[in-house]
Each structure stands twice: as structure tokens, then as C-alpha cells.
């Protein structure tokens, strides 16, 4: 059975990004999931699985600016990275798609994990 998972690592502090808000949208810009990372920087359950896991284009939005402000970092009024959008596609709805985010106030990277 396919599923979509994510996790966030705070590369500025060298730890999981606990308490970061995440939103998942489909290709029509419909909000599908709104959640927050746990103490391990992960969400407690897959973002999509079973009948909700479908082929298509999606966008994850990570509230990095709010997260770093909450950690006490002094960010500019207009943060360089406020909301980090990751647009990606799911071809095989029966596969596991893991979309991690490694983030600091001024850089991020992602990849298809396992």
C-alpha cells in the first residue's frame, strides 16, 4: 500500500524540527492535510495513504519562518525563507514517497527518501 511521509531536520541547530507546521495541497490547490511535526521532526501518521494516495502533483508547505522565530532566532521582518514550498509528483500510488526537508533560515534541500 502506498503512502506519503515527511520529516524535517533543523540544520541550523542540528536537530529534528519539532513543532513545524506543514500543509499539503493537491494540484487544484485544495488543502488536503494540515499538521505539525512531533519531537522527532516527523508527522504522527502518513500524509496520504490508502484511498487518499493518488497519482498526481502535490505541494508541501513548511512554515520555516514561524518555526525559527519560535526557536528564538532573530529573523528579519521579511524572512529570507518564510514558507518553504516543495512541489513534487506521485506517479505510483502504490509506492512509498518520503519527502524530507533539511532547513535553516537561509537554505534548504530535499530529496526522495525511503
**Does the predicted TM-score (pTM) go above 0.85?**
yes
Mean pLDDT of 6-29: 97
> Domain residues of the chain, as ranges?
3-110
In tens, the pLDDT along 18-68 reads 999 999 999 999 999 999 999 999 999 999 999 999 999 999 999 999 999
Average of per-residue pLDDT values in the chain: 97
H-assigned helices in the chain = 64-70
What is the predicted pLDDT for the residue at 17? 98
- How would you classify residue 29: left for phi > 0, otherwise alpha for psi between -120 and 50, otherwise beta? left
d(CA 40, CA 15): 8
Tell me the CATH architecture of domain 3-110: Sandwich (2.60)
**Residue 106, C-alpha cell as written in the block:** 537561509
Confidence category of residue 114, pLDDT binned at 50, 70, 90: confident
Amino acid at each position: 500500500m502506498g503512502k506519503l511521509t515527511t520529516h524535517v531536520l533543523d540544520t541550523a541547530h542540528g536537530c529534528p524540527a519539532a513543532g513545524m507546521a506543514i500543509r499539503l495541497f493537491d494540484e487544484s490547490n485544495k488543502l488536503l492535510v494540515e499538521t505539525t511535526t512531533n519531537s522527532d521532526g516527523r508527522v504522527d501518521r502518513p500524509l496520504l495513504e490508502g484511498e487518499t494516495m493518488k497519482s498526481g502533483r502535490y505541494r508541501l508547505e513548511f512554515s520555516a519562518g514561524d518555526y525559527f522565530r519560535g526557536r528564538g532566532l532573530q529573523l528579519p521582518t521579511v524572512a529570507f525563507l518564510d514558507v518553504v514550498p516543495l512541489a513534487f509528483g506521485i506517479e505510483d500510488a502504490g509506492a512509498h514517497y518520503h519527502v524530507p526537508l533539511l532547513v535553516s533560515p537561509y537554505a534548504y534541500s530535499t530529496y526522495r527518501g525511503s
